[in-house]
Amino acid sequence: DRLAFSNGIVTLAAGAVVLIWAFDAQVTRLIQLYIVGVFVSFTLSQLGMTRHWTRELRTEQDAAKRAAMKRSRIINAFGFCMTSAVLLVVLITKFVRGAYIAILAMAAVFLLMQAIHKHYTRVRRELALQDVGAAKALPSRVHAIVLVSHLHRPTMRALSYARASRPQVLEAVTVGDEPEDVAALRAEWERLEVPVALKVLDSPFREITRPVVAYVRSIHRESPRDLVVVYIPEYVVGHWWEALLHNQSALRLKGRLLFTPGVVVASVPWQLASSEGQTGLEERTPGTVPRAW
């Protein structure tokens, strides 16, 4: 996509800056790299066209077209011989003057591309449909968990979204590190008559990630065929420095839960006023208007 092209341009620009700095912007030294790159490209392109015409001649039956293809193949083969001869001379005479850098760089890029291709091939084989019946099978139940830190508007939105999905089991989970905070949360929960059970996970060492991950994995172990969906309220911020102050616990949790099979992590965004173009959105978003449970 366009972003990939943009990243490629930025990478090439950064590489050019490094080369200019390393060679003190001396054209006589940089030209060695240019000559090797140019004639490697010319040689490979001529070889590729020669192979192309050879492949086309195997299936073409028209006599006039075959004659044109043979003529083109001869031209490209001659070009391949000429450019490869020049490339050989350049490599012999300019190798120690900097041409070896271009050769090493091209070899490294080639090996990198080969490794990337093998990775994509391996992933494609891994993701291929083997058992269609198993792929279509539905989970026995859906166990939804809404993570709660405080009883505020983002939490209420996450609870509403979870309830709207109509799971077979729905519970709110909070990590209790201070008895006073847990008691206050329970009191507020009962006062607002939230129709979702609140479960408190003990955390004597004031840790949040490990108790939640352990609880989710215990559910999966007890019912391997169930699907566990974890709803995590997150803030959408408008400044980069705000990202350092918010969502850190959510990021750690998602990073751990994504490696747990049978678990789906659902982020429930809440746009803060600082988020660009989102001013006043919370007043217009469906589900934020108070209503009876």
**Residue 282: pLDDT band with limits 50, 70, 90:** very low
**pLDDT single digits (tens) 68-94:** 999 999 999 999 999 999 999 988 887
Per-residue pLDDT tens over the stretch 120-131 = 999 999 988 888
* CA 268 remoteness from chain centre: 19
Q: Is residue 270 domain-shared with residue 174, that is, in the same domain?
A: yes
Q: Do 104 and 149 share a structural domain?
A: no
What's the pLDDT score for residue 3?
52
Domains of the chain: total: 2
Q: How far apart are CA 253 and CA 251, in angstroms?
A: 5
Domain finish residue from 127, 156, 181? 127
Domain containing 76 equals 2-127
Of 102, 127, 152, the position where a domain reaches its end is 127
Tokens for 199?
């479960």
Q: Say if residue 119 is in the same domain as residue 246.
A: no
User: Any idea what the CATH number is for the domain that residue 257 is in?
Assistant: 3.40.50.620
Contact 60, 66 (CB under 8 A): yes
pLDDT score at 121: 95
Planar angle of CA 267, 269, 271, nearest 5 degrees:
165
> Within 10 Å of residue 243's Cβ, how many Cβ atoms?
14
pLDDT value for 73: 94
The verdict on 189 and 222 lying in the same domain is yes
* Other CB atoms within 10 A of residue 254 CB: 17
Q: Which residues contact 91 (CB under 8 A, 6 or more apart)?
A: 36, 99, 103
Span 130-140, pLDDT tens digits: 888 877 888 88
Residues 197/167, Cβ–Cβ less than 8 Å:
no
Q: Domain for residue 132, yes or no?
A: no
Minimal CA–CA distance to 252: which of 207, 221, 220, 188? 207
Could you read off the pLDDT of 43-62 as tens digits, one per residue?
Answer: 999 999 999 999 999 988 89
Same domain for 177 and 270? yes
User: Are 123 and 142 members of one domain?
Assistant: no
Residues 147 and 121 in one domain: no
